Amino acid sequence: MISRFSVLLLFVPALVMLSLSVTEVYAEQAALRAGAAMIDITPEPGVSLDGVISKNGPVTGVHDRIYSRALVLDDGNTRVAICVNDLCMVERSYFDRAKQIVFEKTGLPANRMLMTSTHTHAAPRVPYGRASEQDDVYYQALIQKMAEAIITAEQNLAPAQIAWGSFDAGRYAACRRFLAEKGSVSLNPFGVAGEQIKSVSGRSKQIIQPAADIDPQCSILSVQHADGTPLAVLGNMSIHYCGGYRKGEISADYFGAYAKYLAEKLKSSGSHPPFVGMLSNGTSGNVGAVMKQDKRKYQPFEWIDESGKQFAEQTIKVLAQLQYQRKVPVEMVEREIELAIRKPDEERLAWAQEILANPKQKTLHPWSKIYATEAVELNKYPATETIKLQAIRIGDLGIVGLPCEVFTETGLAIKAGSPFGATFSMELANGSSGYLPTPTQHALGGYETWPARSSYLEIEAETKIRQTALELLRELHN
């Protein structure tokens, strides 16, 4: 009879070999390489700014220039690119065309590129703000320049080390949707009563509480050259934007101010390419602007500059505490899913046509004419839309790319369900498919749920997107 001890001895050599093979795999992994670059994408005067609803008009001046910023990572087996653009949002086909140019010139597959927008409202919304052929000229040049950012970053690949961390920035964020007493909220643009959300354009004096929690975490991914010289920093924060512009003036908002201050403090030295700082937007579809930290009145753009500086200073404190790694696995997966579109029914279309046929009539809501136009436009949409979801693994860090203005509930749920030690999401990645309220938030109503080109996916879209994102993270982890 063979004892349990004897059986165990039979398995010991196999266990030792397995342990050695895993160790050897990590030992043989090539050292990380990284490259970063930034390309100016500032439009000329006359190009349309963001604004189907806000109607910011054409560019009349430039407060601060806007950029396409790219980071490329290569672990010896897999190469991935992250491209953050100082734009309000970009429709998927424009990102896809930029990726195709990168592939044709470098061989980097499109499914190894994540491209996103910061959501500054002082920049173009591509192409939804289109008003003239001048916009088309800018869009075509933009596609080339976004591709150029990734191509240049890849050309800058060099031995590197990487680390990640975070800090609590909760005092800057607040939910902009408020739960109100039943029957207290004003009619929505369609003349319908019964909503329970006081938001961007819904009035109520009977507020109960914020409709959701915020995500207070500002995540930081830091990349250095092998000699310790700063190469790039990618931040991620779930705040809608800062705002406080002058109409018609281009600005990268606090996303650009953050990058500027980091670059001033973390200058590259010697023969290294210039340091690149970038700040991506997390899950902020239901979060307001960057909250001021005092009661004084700021001039246009002043709080943008100050808040970007404050975020940069806190980031630098985090960088001083990080432990960098030179050998980490880098992987990326993506998946497409098809979602239904909430197209207007015959009754809604009839309402819209009546409103538009009598443009001088007084309406029950100041935005009724806007949403009548949106109903007509939404009726031109197909029955479904295919969206792209992505996940990236960098060691024990997971990054998710979502093509919508995502609510904080979704971002927090992805973090909670992620198998990685640290996780953050980038919204408006690889497209711009409108707001993504949870089914619960849909039932409560409010601006972000009103059917329009700004919010059109099926009510269950959030559930399907969140579940898919977690599946991608688990696939990478396993």
Question: How confident is the model over 264-273, as pLDDT tens digits?
Answer: 999 877 789 9
- Helix or strand (DSSP H, E) at 447: none
Rg (CA), the chain: 24
- Amino acid type, 139: Y
Answer for the pair 464, 339: CB distance below 8 angstroms, yes or no. yes
Tokens linked to 416: 């909670």
Label residue 410 exposed, middle or buried (CB < 10 Å: 0-12, 13-18, 19+). Answer: buried
Q: What is the pLDDT of residue 6?
A: 38
DSSP state of 93: H
Q: How far apart are CA 93 and CA 273, in angstroms?
A: 31
Longest Cα–Cα distance in the chain: 97
Q: What is the pLDDT of residue 52?
A: 54
Tokens linked to 251: 């600005």
pLDDT, averaged in runs of 10, over the chain (478 residues): 37 38 51 98 94 72 98 98 98 98 98 98 92 95 98 98 98 98 94 94 92 98 97 98 95 98 88 96 98 95 98 98 98 98 97 94 92 96 98 98 98 98 98 98 97 97 98 97
**Helices and strands (DSSP H and E) totals, the chain:** 10, 21
Strand 207-210 with 230-237, pairing:
unpaired
Of how many residues is the chain composed?
Answer: 478
Question: What does the buried/exposed string (b/e) look like for 448-478 if buried means 16 or more CB atoms within 10 Å of the residue's CB?
Answer: bbbbbbbbbbbeebbebbbebbbebbeebee
- Percentages (nearest 5) of helix, strand, coil residues in the chain: 35, 25, 40
Whole-prediction pTM value?
0.92
Q: What is the pLDDT of residue 17?
A: 39
SS3 74: strand
Q: What is the pLDDT of residue 161?
A: 98
Answer for the pair 268, 275: CB distance below 8 angstroms, yes or no. yes
Beta bridge mates, 89: 125
Q: How far apart are CA 59 and CA 257, in angstroms?
A: 20
* Residue linked to tokens 């806190």: 314
Q: How far apart are CA 250 and CA 222, in angstroms?
A: 28
